[in-house]
Amino acid sequence: MLKQTSDPRSRVGITAVGSALPDAVLTSQSLLHEAARGLGRTLPPTLLAQATGIITRRVAADDEHASTFAVRAARRALAAASLDPHDIDLLLFASASRDMVEPATAHIVQAELGSNAHALDVTNACNSFINGIDLARVMIQAGRARRALVVTGETPSRAVRRAPADLAAFRDGFAGYTFGDAGAAVVLEAVERGGILDVDTETRSEHWDVGGIPGGGSRHPRGDNHTYFRGDGHELRGVFEKTGTSVVERTLHRNGLDWSCFAKVLVHQVTVPYLERFTELTGVPAEKLVITVPELGNIASASIGVQLEKAYEELLPGDRVLFVGLGGGISIMTMIWEKS
């Protein structure tokens, strides 16, 4: 029997979803060729595809920004729900990317949509979108909002070192070559049945410096060298393997569930080898996954939102979905959602 963690009189569910992708496609072979040209040396043309399983990714055009994809996804979600932007009274931009340090990108999204909701940013690396959904849920339950729009727009391709100065820089930024751009959005409101049934988190902040983009804050406010992603992909994977699987097991055990209880399992996707390892360690049946990483790459916090839209129309009322979020910092998050 599934444990209902919130008052059933104030259940909150996802009632619409949307996503958005850039038109431009960049292959791993082309990206590796750019890096090799910057290095002034030859690299095996299949190195990136073989190491990551990523064949292509979508990348933003020069005149497209994080807010661009958030707005496009938001419009799709609102249309799916037959809602006007003024029907929303809480707007959360929940993303690892942003248009600028200040003001909050939520205000740029809101200005484009024409809404007048309470607007703010939520940021926690690749877990930002799930954190935003959880925050919106709690605010609706607290009576602070009636209907929320949670959006993300990710442009991590802007932080990829396409012309590394040397092999050390290439290795340091290699994890960034997995990135692609995308946006996602969900509408949340009170529901009579189902909805978000369980949330669990685990944070291991002692690993905060394993990877990230150091520029733009008070530590490194300026300097192009700090605007690129750097990190140890192997160390990140090791932490996720040790901690992430235990959170998943804890969530299933606490609620008395097994994999047969879920129609889909949506997990943040970094590379194909990591997704295969996640499947091996947790035992989740591969057919319950919605695989996007070979064609879209690591789209940061938009990953689960894009997967959700792909699966949404196939889901029936009563179907349960497990979200598994993995974010730098490091944080792990699970969420059980039942379609109303």
With cut-offs at 50, 70 and 90, classify the pLDDT of residue 110. Answer: very high
With cut-offs at 50, 70 and 90, classify the pLDDT of residue 160. Answer: confident
The 8 Å CB, 24+ separation contacts for 23-29 are: 23/58, 23/61, 24/58, 24/59, 24/60, 24/61, 25/56, 25/57, 25/58, 25/59, 26/56, 26/57, 26/58, 26/59, 26/157, 26/180, 27/55, 27/56, 28/52, 28/54, 28/55, 28/56, 28/57, 28/177
What value does the mean pLDDT of the chain take?
A: 90
Residue 3 confidence (pLDDT): 43
**Does the pLDDT value for residue 233 go beyond 70?**
no
Mean pLDDT on 280-302: 96
Residue 258 confidence (pLDDT): 97
Residue 189 confidence (pLDDT): 98
Phi/psi of residue 144, each to 5°?
A: -85, -15
With cut-offs at 50, 70 and 90, classify the pLDDT of residue 1. Answer: very low
Tokens of 317: 């009322």
Residue 232 confidence (pLDDT): 63
More confident residue, 212 or 253: 253
Active site positions, annotated = 126, 268, 298
Three-class DSSP labels, 229-265: CEECHHHHHHHHHHHHHHHHHHHHHHHCCCHHHCCEE
Residue 219 confidence (pLDDT): 63
Q: Which of 82-91, 197-206, 207-216, 252-261 has the lowest mean pLDDT?
A: 207-216
**Does the pLDDT value for residue 4 go beyond 50?**
no
Distance separating alpha carbons of residues 225 and 68, to the nearest angstrom: 26
The H or E element containing residue 31 is: helix 28-39
Distance separating alpha carbons of residues 10 and 100, to the nearest angstrom: 36
For residue range 319-333, list pLDDT tens digits in order: 999 999 998 878 999
With cut-offs at 50, 70 and 90, classify the pLDDT of residue 90. Answer: very high
- pTM (two decimals): 0.93
